[in-house]
Amino acid sequence: MAKQPKEVTINGIKFKLQPVKPTWYWELTERCKLTGENTKTTKFMDELFKNVVVEPVGVRNDGLAYFDAEDDIKTPGELLSEIISFLMERSRPSGSAAQG
């Protein structure tokens, strides 16, 4: 069974999150070099916001720039944590994978 969208509320703002393919997520972490030197945290956050957040539409369209316009540094940090937690949750087993 595929992972279902999820709604979270952070600092009074309701966000609707959609799942992404695992390969896309891990390729993003490689592109942004999240381990080692020269990490690109803002690029990582921006792409996650634009690809995982469905609502509010301003976050989906503008990514991290949405929060710049609001002069909000707290909400994107908390949203990033929620997104990563959501993506790392296992979906319910469909019964087609080997049990072990």
Q: Name the pTM for this structure.
A: 0.84
For residue 46, the tally of other CB atoms under 10 A from its CB is: 18
- Report the C-alpha dihedral over residues 35, 41, 47, 49, rounded to 10 degrees: 120
How high is the pLDDT of residue 50?
A: 98
Concatenated DSSP letters for 62-83?
HTHHHHHHTT-SHHHHHHHHHH
Spatial separation of the C-alpha atoms in residues 27 and 48, rounded to whole Å: 12
Nearest to 2 by CA among 93, 98, 70: 93
- Reduced to 3 states, what is the DSSP secondary structure of residue 36? coil
How high is the pLDDT of residue 2?
A: 74
How high is the pLDDT of residue 94?
A: 56
Work out the pLDDT band at 98, boundaries 50, 70, 90: very low
In this model, does residue 99 exceed pLDDT 50? Answer: no
Residues 78, 85, 44, 62: is their CA dihedral positive or negative? Answer: negative
- Reduced to 3 states, what is the DSSP secondary structure of residue 13? strand
| Domain parsing of the chain, residue ranges | 9-88
Work out the pLDDT band at 100, boundaries 50, 70, 90: very low
User: Tell me: the pLDDT tens digits for 31-87?
Assistant: 898 767 778 999 999 999 999 999 999 999 999 999 999 999 999 999 999 999 999
How high is the pLDDT of residue 39?
A: 83
How high is the pLDDT of residue 92?
A: 63
Edge-first strand listing for the sheet containing 6-10: 6-10, 13-17, 53-55
